[in-house]
Amino acid sequence: MTQSTTTLFRSYLIEEYHLTEEPYYVPVADEVELFEAAYQQRIPLIFKGPTGCGKTRFVEYMSYRLAQPLVTIACHEDLTASDLVGRYLLEGDSTVWIDGPLSRAVKAGGICYLDEIVEARKDTTVLIHPLTDHRRILPVEKRGELLEAADGFLLILSYNPGYQSALKDLKHSTRQRFVSIEFDYPPRDIEAEIIQHESGCSDDDATQLAMLGEKVRNLREHGLGEGASTRLLIYAGKLMSQGIPHRRACQVAVNWAVTDDHAVQRSIEEIIASIF
Ligand code: ADP
């Protein structure tokens, strides 16, 4: 890491993650009440659900509602415990300790959202367990320290059961430390409202895009791995509001985005043609 990145890393303040504007979020079921109840009791949460269905937006909204700072960490297969907790870095002739994002959230008492946790290296679970029980501590092995979580701290994990494989599954010893909320794509009327709001397309286009989403998702039983996300439908709406013809917008933002399989693409093409 270069000197300038070190400086950048060190100047990162948890307060920067206080959301100052209310994120747009339309509740789909009782998830707001559940989150608030769990937060009051400091019960950690798992959000399960397909990609692009609103999990990240929801945690942003709840952080704003509860006036807590939010630290979001996108997990990937090289993410190690040190990336989360912190590490010593060389600065000139000396070494300095730099807290990782999880340590910062623990100290500041913020909400820490580990997105796609099953992607991370297995050594990260060693950190999660003591943070999720009555101890609420984070072991900082390299410094021989135990950090006690500040009062507002809460850990939230997300994972997509659709990607689940024997190798990448959340162990029961981990998942049974959390309350799990299942997310799915919003029902058609709510999804249309979201698409319209986020993309600026017309009400009619938004309604038809929501219908397209529903129909494409039904293909999941016919060889399509994952249905079209709300995010993709919003992209299609944005392209439409820029003047891209409807069918073309759906082709690039939905059809080609969800699959490479030509047979499935043909089916989606037909669905698009039946709607637009
Ligand atoms: P995930 O974290 O599940 O992958 P996101 O939270 O990033 O998905 O959702 C993708 C986009 O869909 C968001 O940026 C937002 O525009 C929209 N969205 C999905 N669900 C909702 C909702 N219930 N209320 C408002 N926007 C939503």
- Per-residue model confidence as pLDDT tens digits over 81-94: 999 999 999 988 99
Q: Is the dihedral of CA 80, 82, 88, 91 positive or negative?
A: positive
Q: What is the mean pLDDT of residues 142-154?
A: 95
Q: Check pLDDT > 50 for residue 5.
A: no
- Cα–Cα distances (Å) from 218 to 93, 215, 225, 226, in that order, read 60, 5, 11, 10
Q: Is 0.95 exceeded by the ipTM?
A: yes
The best mutation among 21, 45, 46, 57 to test binding of ligand 1, ranked by most ligand atoms within 8 Å of the C-beta, falls on 57
- Atom index in ligand 1 nearest the CA of residue 183 equals 3
User: Rounded CA gap, 7 and 146, in Å?
Assistant: 25
Q: What is the mean pLDDT of residues 148-154?
A: 96
Q: Check pLDDT > 80 for residue 165.
A: no
pTM (2 decimals)?
0.91
Q: Whose CA is nearest to atom 5 of ligand 1?
A: 54
Which residues have CB under 6 Å of ligand 1? Answer: 24-26, 28, 49, 51-57, 186, 194, 198, 230-231, 234
Q: Are 139 and 129 in contact (CB under 8 A)?
A: no
Q: What's the CA-to-centroid distance between 42 and ligand 1, angstroms?
A: 24
Q: What's the CA-to-centroid distance between 236 and ligand 1, angstroms?
A: 15
Q: What's the CA-to-centroid distance between 143 and ligand 1, angstroms?
A: 38
